[in-house]
Amino acid sequence: MRHSKKVVLALGSNLGNRRENLAAALGMIGDFCRVAYCSRIYQTPPVGYADQRDFLNAALAAETDCDPFELLALCKALESKIGRRATFRNGPRAIDIDIIFYGDLSFEEEGLTLPHPRWSERDFVKTPLLDLFESGALASGFPIGVREILERTARAFAPYSAF
């Protein structure tokens, strides 16, 4: 028997109708996750490759019965369905979906590291996570240290819109 796991996913888009891409992803994520809370949307500058449009970013807290690799495969399939095409590292994309936390699981295997290895370095991830934290959606079931990092995090961006 499978047990539900709390997960946090981060979403980003900077190609096409960015807000529509995020909304489509959120709707389709509901096919394999029970979304408990979604952050507001934030407009953020690109990181790593500056010559591209700003991103819209959001995060969501959910529960899933999928194991981590099933969840990753479903997220990648959803990215393809929305129109993500392989380009280059940090390049523009119609949608990006990252698993930030999978419960309190901490591991590194080929193709997946949990928690996401750079989440605490990225304001475009931490700012939407603050919404989840402030809502209570990250109150329990996540890695030790998340609360402390978010308590020290200043909101780097103003909200762009709500879903």
Please list the active-site residues: 84, 93, 96, 98
Strand 5-13, strand 55-64: pairing: antiparallel
Joined tokens for residue 5 = 């796991």
As a whole number of angstroms, the distance between CA 64 and CA 84 comes to 23
- R_g (Cα) of the chain, nearest Å: 15
Q: How far is residue 140's CA from residue 121's CA, in Å, rounded to a whole number?
A: 22
CB 103 within 8 A of CB 7: yes
Contacts of residue 51, Cβ cutoff 8 Å, sequence gap at least 6 = none
Residue 64 per-residue DSSP state: E
